[in-house]
Amino acid sequence: MARGSGEATDEVLMNRAQIGDVRAFAELVQRYKDPMYNLAYRMLRDRQEAEDIAQETFLHVFRALNRFQTGERFSPWVYRIATNLCLDKLRRNKGMSISLDAPMGPESDVYLQVADPGDGPDAALELSELRDDVQRAVDALPERYRTIVILRHLHDRSYEEIAEIVDLPLGTVKTRLFRAREILRRWLSGVVEPQ
């Protein structure tokens, strides 16, 4: 994460945490707790599980302090940990049903977001329905595509960061994102139904 002047970088904080600075570790947790929760929520669609994954992510980070290498970037490293924990959870939950009508957002606030107040209720309803359709389509993607779409479009990670997070070659990330977009385009245009 970009830091203002005078603020320690994530990597400096991580190096200080490695030598026992509890406040440095607490600062990293403070900086990344919301992004890790949001990532987990987008992937798992369950608040409690997202909270559990966010906490478990920082437990893993703490246990792996000595494995963080000087020169390594913290952000992709912590995202990789959280993403892997989410994927493990999804694999364990395979076969369990997930509600497509579950409220979105950490405070179930996505339904409360409306279009420009100048637009009438019909436009707001259409926007809400479109948002729901897009979320259902993203949720229906195979996890290898869904993870990359979430990291790219909901967490604004670069292709390089995504490749590092999911431990795949850059070309594979770009190919999967292209395929995911094509699948979403076909589903959302009504050419093919989500599976």
Output the DSSP codes for 78-97: HHHHHHHHHHHHHHHTTTS-
- The domain defined by 8-96 folds into Rna Polymerase Sigma Factor; Chain: A (1.10.1740)
Query: Cα separation of 89 and 106, whole Å?
Result: 19
Query: Cα separation of 126 and 132, whole Å?
Result: 10
Sign of the torsion formed by the C-alpha atoms of 7, 155, 83 and 173? negative
CATH 1.10.10.10 residue spans of the chain: 113-190
0.75 surpassed by pTM:
no
CATH 1.10.1740.10 residue spans of the chain: 8-96
Query: What pLDDT score was predicted for residue 116?
Result: 44
- Residues sharing a CB contact under 8 Å with residue 55, sequence separation 6 or more, in sequence order: none
- The domain defined by 113-190 folds into Arc Repressor Mutant, subunit A (1.10.10)
Query: What pLDDT score was predicted for residue 97?
Result: 47
Query: What pLDDT score was predicted for residue 160?
Result: 93
Query: What pLDDT score was predicted for residue 109?
Result: 46
Query: What pLDDT score was predicted for residue 139?
Result: 83
Closest CA to 106 of 20, 171, 45: 45
Query: What pLDDT score was predicted for residue 99?
Result: 46
Query: What pLDDT score was predicted for residue 74?
Result: 94
Q: What is the dihedral of CA 40, 42, 47, 53, to 10 degrees?
A: -10
Query: What pLDDT score was predicted for residue 191?
Result: 57
With H, G, I as helix, E, B as strand and everything else as coil, classify residue 28.
Answer: helix
Tokens 């966010």 — which residue? 54
Q: Which residues in the chain land under pLDDT 70?
A: 1-5, 95-128, 130-131, 191-195
